[in-house]
Structure 1
Amino acid sequence: MAESSVSFLISKMDYVLTKEARLLRGVRREVQDIRDELESMRAFLREADAREQRDLGLKSWIKQVREVAFDVEDILDEFEVRIAEPRKRGIASFFKNLITRHRIANQILDIKSRVRIISERRVNYGFGETEHGSSGLFDAAIHHHRIGALFMEEDELVGVGDSRETLSKWLTEGEVSRVTHSVVGMGGSGKTSIVKKVYDSKMVQAHFECHAWITVSQNFKIGDVLRSLIRQFNEQGIGGMDEEVETFEVTKLIEMLRGRLREKRYIVIFDDVWSFEFWETIKYALIDSRNGSRVMITTRNSVVASSCVETLSDVYHLQPLPWKEAWFLFSKKAFENGCPEELKLLSESIVQRCGGLPLAIVAIAGLLSVRPKTLIEWKKVEDSLGSELENNPGLQGMKDILMLSYQDLPYYLKPCFLYFSVFPEDYSIKCMKLIRLWMAEGFLKSNQGLTMEEVGEDYLRELIDRNMVQVTNVDVGGRARRCQVHDFLHEIILSRSAEENFFASFAEHTPQSNCKIRRLAISNETQNSMVKNSNLSQLRSLFIYKPNKSSTIMEAQALISSFRLLRILDLKAAPIDRFPVELANLLNMRYLSLRNTRIKTVPKSIGRLKNLLTLDLKDTLIDHLPEEILNLQQLRHLLVYRYDMSNTSFDYIFGVKVPDGIGILKALQKVCFVRADRGKEVIKELSNLTQLRRLGVIKVKKEDGVDLCSSIEKMHDLRAFSVSSRDEEELLNLDSLFFPPPLLQCIYLDGPMEKFPLWLSSLHNLSSLHLKWSMFRDDPLQFLQDLPNLLQLELHKAYEGTQLHFKPKRFPRLKKLYLTQLDSLNFVIIDQDAMAKLEKMYIGRCRGLLAAPSGIEELSSLNGLYLYDMPENFVKRVTSEDGKDRSRVEHIPTIRSYYSAN
Structure 2
Amino acid sequence: MAESFANVFLEILRELLVEETKFLLSVGGDVDKVEGDLRSMHALLIKADRDKRDSPTLKLYTSQLKDLAFKAENLLETYAVEVQSKREGWKSLKDKLQRYICIICECYSVHQVGNEARDIISTLADLTSKLESELGQECSSLMKQDDERNRLLRQTYAHEVEPHFVGMERDIELLVSMVKDVKRPRVVKIYGMGGLGKTTLARKVYNHRDLQSYARAWVCITQQFQPKPVFVNMLKQLCSSNVKIDGLDVDDLVRRIHGLLGGRECLIVIDDIWEDVHWEIIKNALPVDCNVILTTRSGNIANQQSEPHKLKFLTEDEGWALLQKVADFSPVDEDLKLFEHIGREIVSKCEGLPLSICVIGGILHQKEHTLLEWKKVNMNMESYLRHGEGVEEYRRVKQVLELSYDALPYYLKPCFLYLACFPEDHKIDTERLYLLWMAEGFISYQDKGPNETLKDVAQRYLTELAMRCMVQLHKSQVYSTLHKNFDSCGLHDLMHDLCSSKAEEEKFVKRIDASKYLCGIPSPRLALPPSVRNSISRLAINYDLEKSASSINGLEELNHLRSFMLLRKGSFLGSQIVLKENSINFEKSKCLRIFVVEGCEFEGGMLPSKVSELIHLRYLSLMLSNVRELPKSICSMTYLQILDLRVSPLIVLRLPNVIWKMKRLKHLFLSRRIELIGEEKLRLEGLEELETLESISSETTCIEDIPKLVSLQSVYVRVYDVESLSIVLSNKNSQLRETHLVVESCDLSSQKNREVLNEGLMSPSLVTMWFFKCNMSGNFPYYKQGMCQNLVYLGLFDCEGVVEVMGIGKYPMLQRLELRKVEMRGTLIFLSNSFPQLKKLYLSDMQDLKKWEVEERALSKLTFLSIDSCCNLKKLPDGLRLISTLQEIKIRSMSSEFMERVKEEDYAPFVKIMR
How much has 1:14 moved relative to structure 2?
3.5
More displaced 10-residue stretch of structure 1: 594-603 or 460-469: 594-603
More displaced 10-residue stretch of structure 1: 330-339 or 174-183: 330-339
How much has 1:328 moved relative to structure 2?
3.9
Task: Kindly report which structure 2 residues correspond to 1:243-254, keeping only aligned pairs within 5 A, or say none.
Answer: 243=245, 246-249=248-251, 253-254=253-254
Aligned twin of 1:14: 14
How much has 1:716 moved relative to structure 2?
5.1
| CA distance in 2 between partners of 1:818 and 1:171 (Å) | 47
How much has 1:281 moved relative to structure 2?
4.8
Q: Is 1:302 paired with 2:299?
A: yes
Task: Kindly report which structure 2 residues correspond to 1:736-775, keeping only aligned pairs within 5 A, or say none.
Answer: 736=756, 738=759, 740-750=762-772, 751-754=774-777, 755-758=779-782, 761-763=785-787, 765-766=789-790, 768-773=792-797, 775=799
| Residues 504 and 708 of structure 1, relative CA distance in 2, 3 Å threshold | closer
Equivalent residue for 2:854, pick from 798, 805, 830: 830
Are the aligned partners of 1:51 and 1:135 in contact in 2 as well (CA < 8 Å)? no
Amino acid at match of 2:696: V
Q: Is 1:572 paired with 2:578?
A: no
CA deviation digits over 1:778-836, x for unaligned, max 9?
A: 56332233333333333333442242212223333333323333221112211122222
| Residues 254 and 29 of structure 1, relative CA distance in 2, 3 Å threshold | same
Aligned twin of 1:48: 48
| Residues 699 and 277 of structure 1, relative CA distance in 2, 3 Å threshold | same
| CA distance in 2 between partners of 1:245 and 1:820 (Å) | 80
Instruction: Calculate the TM-score normalised by the size of structure 1.
Output: 0.84
Structure 1, gaps ≥5 residues long: 643-653
Are the aligned partners of 1:78 and 1:565 in contact in 2 as well (CA < 8 Å)? no
Equivalent residue for 1:586, pick from 601, 605, 614: 614
CA deviation digits over 1:836-892, x for unaligned, max 9?
A: 2322222222222110123111112222222233334323321x3xx3xx23x25xx
Are the aligned partners of 1:778 and 1:801 in contact in 2 as well (CA < 8 Å)? yes
**Root-mean-square deviation (Å):** 4.0
Equivalent residue for 1:519, pick from 538, 551, 554: 538
CA deviation digits over 1:452-495, x for unaligned, max 9?
A: 22111111111111111112342444811011122222222222
Equivalent residue for 2:318, pick from 312, 320, 325: 325
Q: Is 1:685 paired with 2:709?
A: no
Q: Is 1:147 paired with 2:156?
A: yes
Q: The residue matched to 2:313 in structure 1 has which SS?
A: coil
Aligned twin of 1:358: 354
Q: The residue matched to 2:562 in structure 1 has which SS?
A: coil
How much has 1:673 moved relative to structure 2?
2.7
Are the aligned partners of 2:44 and 2:132 in contact in 1 as well (CA < 8 Å)? no
Q: Is 1:437 paired with 2:444?
A: no
| CA distance in 1 between partners of 2:296 and 2:803 (Å) | 51
Aligned twin of 2:498: 492
Are the aligned partners of 2:842 and 2:866 in contact in 1 as well (CA < 8 Å)? yes
CA deviation digits over 1:381-413, x for unaligned, max 9?
A: 545589659994432232222122222222221
Are the aligned partners of 1:301 and 1:466 in contact in 2 as well (CA < 8 Å)? yes
| Residues 194 and 551 of structure 1, relative CA distance in 2, 3 Å threshold | closer
| CA distance in 1 between partners of 2:555 and 2:343 (Å) | 35
How much has 1:696 moved relative to structure 2?
2.5
| CA distance in 2 between partners of 1:135 and 1:83 (Å) | 54
Aligned twin of 2:522: none
Amino acid at match of 2:359: A
CA deviation digits over 1:343-382, x for unaligned, max 9?
A: 9998766544432222223234435665896699758954
Aligned length: 859
| CA distance in 2 between partners of 1:51 and 1:296 (Å) | 27
| Residues 721 and 513 of structure 1, relative CA distance in 2, 3 Å threshold | closer
| CA distance in 2 between partners of 1:146 and 1:841 (Å) | 53
Are the aligned partners of 1:813 and 1:837 in contact in 2 as well (CA < 8 Å)? yes
More displaced 10-residue stretch of structure 1: 180-189 or 297-306: 297-306
| Residues 623 and 374 of structure 1, relative CA distance in 2, 3 Å threshold | same
Q: Is 1:260 paired with 2:288?
A: no
Amino acid at match of 2:169: G
Instruction: Calculate the TM-score normalised by the size of structure 2.
Output: 0.83
Residue identity (%): 25
Equivalent residue for 2:462, pick from 456, 460, 472: 460
Aligned twin of 1:404: 403
| CA distance in 2 between partners of 1:23 and 1:245 (Å) | 64
| CA distance in 1 between partners of 2:586 and 2:343 (Å) | 42
Aligned twin of 1:187: 194
Aligned twin of 2:93: none
Aligned twin of 1:212: 217
Aligned twin of 1:470: 472
Q: The residue matched to 1:457 in structure 2 has which SS?
A: helix
Structure 2, gaps ≥5 residues long: 89-97, 517-527, 544-548
Amino acid at match of 2:615: L
| Residues 456 and 268 of structure 1, relative CA distance in 2, 3 Å threshold | same
Task: Kindly report which structure 2 residues correspond to 1:670-819, keeping only aligned pairs within 5 A, or say none.
Answer: 670-678=692-700, 682-702=702-722, 704-710=724-730, 712-714=731-733, 717-726=736-745, 733=753, 735-736=755-756, 738=759, 740-750=762-772, 751-754=774-777, 755-758=779-782, 761-763=785-787, 765-766=789-790, 768-773=792-797, 775=799, 780-819=804-843
| CA distance in 2 between partners of 1:38 and 1:670 (Å) | 32
Are the aligned partners of 1:10 and 1:39 in contact in 2 as well (CA < 8 Å)? yes
Equivalent residue for 1:164, pick from 166, 172, 177: 172
Are the aligned partners of 2:533 and 2:554 in contact in 1 as well (CA < 8 Å)? no
| CA distance in 2 between partners of 1:265 and 1:866 (Å) | 55
| Residues 635 and 178 of structure 1, relative CA distance in 2, 3 Å threshold | closer
| CA distance in 1 between partners of 2:718 and 2:25 (Å) | 50
Amino acid at match of 1:833: R
| CA distance in 1 between partners of 2:30 and 2:884 (Å) | 70
Are the aligned partners of 1:557 and 1:582 in contact in 2 as well (CA < 8 Å)? no
How much has 1:116 moved relative to structure 2?
3.6
| CA distance in 1 between partners of 2:116 and 2:390 (Å) | 38
More displaced 10-residue stretch of structure 1: 262-271 or 695-704: 695-704
How much has 1:515 moved relative to structure 2?
5.5
Q: The residue matched to 1:444 in structure 2 has which SS?
A: coil
Aligned twin of 1:651: none
| CA distance in 2 between partners of 1:413 and 1:12 (Å) | 17
Aligned twin of 2:427: 428
More displaced 10-residue stretch of structure 1: 436-445 or 493-502: 493-502
How much has 1:210 moved relative to structure 2?
1.0
How much has 1:12 moved relative to structure 2?
2.4
| Residues 74 and 619 of structure 1, relative CA distance in 2, 3 Å threshold | closer
| Residues 611 and 111 of structure 1, relative CA distance in 2, 3 Å threshold | closer
Are the aligned partners of 1:245 and 1:253 in contact in 2 as well (CA < 8 Å)? no
Q: The residue matched to 1:666 in structure 2 has which SS?
A: coil
| Residues 898 and 622 of structure 1, relative CA distance in 2, 3 Å threshold | same
How much has 1:150 moved relative to structure 2?
7.0
Amino acid at match of 2:898: F
Amino acid at match of 2:690: L
Aligned twin of 1:602: 630
| CA distance in 2 between partners of 1:826 and 1:556 (Å) | 64
How much has 1:574 moved relative to structure 2?
1.0
| Residues 395 and 140 of structure 1, relative CA distance in 2, 3 Å threshold | farther
CA deviation digits over 1:545-569, x for unaligned, max 9?
A: 5799877511664524543211211
How much has 1:572 moved relative to structure 2?
0.6
CA deviation digits over 1:255-308, x for unaligned, max 9?
A: 44343223211112222222333444544543345xxx5322122112326433
Are the aligned partners of 2:191 and 2:308 in contact in 1 as well (CA < 8 Å)? yes
Q: Is 1:115 paired with 2:104?
A: no
How much has 1:146 moved relative to structure 2?
4.6
More displaced 10-residue stretch of structure 1: 620-629 or 433-442: 620-629
Amino acid at match of 1:564: K
